[in-house]
Structures are given as C-alpha cells and as structure tokens.
Structure 1
Amino acid sequence: MDGSPPAQRALRWAAGQARLTGARLHVVTAWELPSYHGWAPPAPYDEDLAATAGKVLSISVREVLGDEPSDLVVAESVVPGHPVQVLVDASARAALLVVGCRGHGAFTGALLGSVSQQCVQHSRCPVVVVRGSG
C-alpha cells in the first residue's frame, strides 16, 4: 500500500474479498533506502523512512476502511525492501495477493518491471491485479 489511488482500489477490493471469505486482511507497505553511488545515508535515515511509510500505510487504510472496521481483522506491516520482493515473500504465507495497477496504457503497462507484473510472474499464491478507475 503506497497510498496511491490504484493501491486504494486494490485495498477496497481485497477488503470486500476478505469479508466474503472471512479471511484476515494483511496490508503491507515496503520501503527501501534510495541508492546513490558513493553516498551512504546516516543510520537514523532508515528509521525515518520506515516511520513515514507506516504513517502513509495507516492513513491509507483508515481512508479506505474507516477507523476500526468491525467486520474485518486487519493487520498492517511495514517491511524494508523492494516492493516486488516484499510482496512475493508475503505471498508465501497468503491465500491471495491483491495488487493495484497504475494503468499507464497499453504500451507502458506491458513493460517488464512493473510491480504488478512481477508479482503475477513470481508470486507463490494466486494474484488479483485490480485495474481501472472505479
């Protein structure tokens, strides 16, 4: 969950599926240090990124699901690493992985490297890619 509209649509869809199946909803966000050749950030830098990612995650979950949804068990995780690797790793313990798609059009949407495409190719469980603007 990165707070983007596609991620919010995916969370909305996943919440509906969790309600239908009685499953627990685990919402994950990933963060990683930006890489700059020849420069290393000071040690507390990663803590700030993790805290910021956690705030974005919590705010996004509340915006989509409300303050405390009584009909869902929701867990939130902030995990260091590249989004693809974090989600593929999480898929090993999941019944279903739901990701959003930014939908940049036919050509750029087909390019290798997008998170959703990499998750579809490497996930260890079924994947739903939520597209569209609704």
Structure 2
Amino acid sequence: MDPADVRTGDIVVGVDGSIPARSALSWAAAQARHTGARLHLIAVWEIPALHGWAPALPYDEDLAAAAGKVLSASARDVLGEQPTDLEIAESIVPGHPAQVLIDASARAALLVVGCRGHGTLTGALVGSVSQQCVRHARCPVVVVRGTW
C-alpha cells in the first residue's frame, strides 16, 4: 500500500479477523460516525518465514485473497452489508502488519488496533503489533481490548 492511499484525517483500523480486531473495528466505526472521518480498513498479509527451502506455491495470490476474504467478512459482520452512514476505504497490503500500519499512520488522524493477548498473564500485556504501533505511529493510537 502506498501511504498516499490513506487520506489526511482518516481513521485507520487494522483488520485481521480476530475478535479483538473486530472490537477495534466497531470502536473505530463509532468514532468515524462521531467525527465524520473516513474509515480506512487495512488487512495485511505476509509470506510465512520458511527456513531451508523456498516456497513452491504462489503465496502472494493465495494470501492476498485470504486477507481480502477476512477483511470483507469482518466488515460485513461488524458494519453490516453496506453502511450508508460511513465513508469506507479498504486496503489489502503485503508486508509486516506493524510496519504497514505505522506507515499508514503518517497521514491518518487516528490508528485503531485490537490487542489479542495470550492467556491470563500475557493477556494483560499489549501484543507485539499493537505495541509497535503505540511506540512508532505518527498519529494517536487507540488499542481496543475486550470482546466484540
């Protein structure tokens, strides 16, 4: 994704299909309705790290399509079929999730991410993508915890 795809003033939300990401999308949509900002949904995919051999399949096409399906399903489940009260943009981008969202934050008014957590002890900590976004984003960041 070219960071220019994000318009100045957009509310950018990372979408990965998880329950925390759906909660983040719901929160971001409410904020976009409140402020009149465009909601920009971003799904990120990357080729899995493989050691010792090169992938034989054209991963880019399959992973991009899968990310697109996750983005569409999440948007439909959280926002409905075609919300008329929101201006929405969608991007499906190859790369590392934190870096793509940080790059998108350069023009955004707000970056919204979910926090997965991993159990009782580590669940209290901020996840690696959300932590990187909080530390390096160039706009305010909201990390949404909880269930959708």
CA shift digits 1:10-67 (9 cap, x unpaired): 0000000000000000000110001111222236221111011111101110110001
Aligned: 1:16 with 2:13: no
Separation in structure 1 between the aligned mates of residue 57 and residue 80 of structure 2, nearest angstrom: 35
Aligned residues: 134
Any stretches of 5+ residues in structure 2 without a counterpart?
A: 1-14
Separation in structure 2 between the aligned mates of residue 133 and residue 11 of structure 1, nearest angstrom: 11
Root-mean-square deviation (Å): 1.8
Structure 2 equivalent of residue 47 of structure 1: 61
Structure 2 equivalent of residue 132 of structure 1: 146
Structure 2 equivalent of residue 64 of structure 1: 78
Alignment of 1:29-44 (within 5 A): 29-42=43-56, 44=58
What letter matches 2:83 in structure 1? Answer: P
TM-score (norm 2): 0.83
Identical columns (%): 74
TM-score (norm 1): 0.92
The alpha-carbon deviation at position 107 of structure 1 amounts to 4.1
Q: Given that residues 103 and 132 in structure 1 are in contact (C-alpha distance below 8 angstroms), is that contact kept between their aligned partners in structure 2?
A: no
Q: Given that residues 24 and 72 in structure 1 are in contact (C-alpha distance below 8 angstroms), is that contact kept between their aligned partners in structure 2?
A: yes
The alpha-carbon deviation at position 112 of structure 1 amounts to 7.7
Indicate the SS of the match to 1:76: strand
Q: 1:122 aligns with which of 121, 136, 143?
A: 136
Aligned: 1:96 with 2:89: no
Q: Given that residues 45 and 96 in structure 2 are in contact (C-alpha distance below 8 angstroms), is that contact kept between their aligned partners in structure 1?
A: yes
Q: Given that residues 115 and 127 in structure 2 are in contact (C-alpha distance below 8 angstroms), is that contact kept between their aligned partners in structure 1?
A: no
Q: Given that residues 112 and 118 in structure 1 are in contact (C-alpha distance below 8 angstroms), is that contact kept between their aligned partners in structure 2?
A: no
Any stretches of 5+ residues in structure 1 without a counterpart?
A: none
